[in-house]
Every structure is written in C-alpha cells, then in structure tokens.
Amino acid sequence: MGVTCVCQVPILEGKSVQQTVDMLHKKLEQLGAVKQGSFFVDCETYHATSNASGQPSKLLYVMHNSETPLSCLALFEGGPYLTADVNFDVLMVKLKSHFQNAKGHKVESRGTRYRYCDFLVKVGTVTMSSSARGISVEVEYCACVVPGDCWNLMKEFMQSFLGSNVPELPSVFAAKPEGLYAPVDCMDTMVQYLELFSKVRKQQVIPGASVR
C-alpha cells in the first residue's frame, strides 16, 4: 500500500449527506476517475470489565478494512496496536468476561472506490446506529510509501476535488521517530480512521439522516 490520508469532509450547506457524496462522485468522474467497486471500514468499541491496578481502563477498538479481509486490527486507546487474523473476533467473544462490547458505539464507513492514475480514492458515508453522521474521504498515492516524498503532490490532487477542505498532514506521520521519511503501513490508515470515528461519535445526529 502507498501513502494514505483519511479526512472528514463537511456536508454542504443546504445539502444532505447523500447529495454531498454524489457531488464528490461527480467531481471525481469529471477528473477522469473510474469506479472500482466498494469498500468498508468498521470499528467496534470494548471496555475492560475489571481493572485490578486501579488505573483508568483503556478502551479497545477492534477494526476491519475490506482492503485486508483476512486481517483484524486491535488498537488500545493510546497504544499499543496489533494486527491479527479474523479469528480475533471469535477471541473477543470468549473474552467477554474481561472486555465488554459497548453496544450502540459501532461506527462504519461504506462507499465507493475510485482509481485515478496512481491514486486510489474512497468516498464513504460514516454511520453510527443506522444514522448518517458524516462523510469520509481516503486518498492513497499508490506509487510511494514515504510521506515526505509525495505529500505536496497528494495535497494538489486532493485540492482538485475537495477545494478548501484539503486536510493538513496526518499527525500519525509526523509522530514517528523518523518523521515524514518513515515508510507507511496499514496501521497508519486505521489510526486515521479511528481518529475520524472518535470525532463522529461526539457529533450530534444529523436530522433526518438514516441509512437503509
């Protein structure tokens, strides 16, 4: 995988979530991007049922990405992070006496994948409890794995369809010891989705927004 940026796109004034998504699709297609199927990313939240140390319990987030269907990612709040196979979901059921699923907190993003030259773009509707909460855009530059070598090019491309909503450099890259010149991996992408989903959980429900 290449360098990836995940961001939340604001809903256009006077428009619904779906109308804003449709406008993003139209802009990408006008650029010459081609649809390449669909995608999803989801996140379940678990909290520890007991804590012998007396310290505040860390939340555990279990995430899935359709790009890596045989993997499951587990991210503790603030780290550490680990990658496991899909049987990790079964393990979490067996560990229910230690980790309790936070019902109603599942967040997911589903939508369409587009290919434009060396770029892969995914525009998703973010939902929680069957309510549309926002829009996610993921942009991957497949020809490079070092953020410092391609970020300006990515910004220029994103500006062509996001306009003034182009995000800043994802903090996950700058936080690494090697900075922008550390090769990326799939965990970098999922950390960005986790940050986006955490923001979405705190947002108010969009009136009349539901997903069927």
- Residues in contact with 152: Cβ distance below 8 Å, sequence separation at least 6, in sequence order: none
Q: Do 201 and 128 touch, CB atoms closer than 8 A?
A: yes
On whether both 139 and 194 belong to a single domain, the answer is: yes
Cis omega before residue 183 (within 30°)? no
On whether both 129 and 156 belong to a single domain, the answer is: yes
Cβ neighbours of 200 (radius 10 Å): 18
**Residue 108 and residue 127: Cα distance in Å, rounded?**
6
On whether both 31 and 125 belong to a single domain, the answer is: yes
Give percent of the chain above pLDDT 90: 62
Q: What is the pLDDT of residue 26?
A: 97
- Tell me whether residue 211 is in a domain: no
- Tell me whether residue 83 is in a domain: yes
Q: What is the pLDDT of residues 143-168, one digit of tens each?
A: 999 999 999 999 999 999 999 999 99
- Mean of pLDDT values over 196-200: 92
**Stated pTM of the model:** 0.90
**CA end-to-end distance (rounded Å), the chain:** 32
What does residue 139 show for φ and ψ, rounded to 5 degrees? -120, 125
Q: Do 66 and 40 touch, CB atoms closer than 8 A?
A: yes
By residue range, what is the domain housing residue 184? 3-40+109-201
Domain boundary among 80, 101, 122: 101
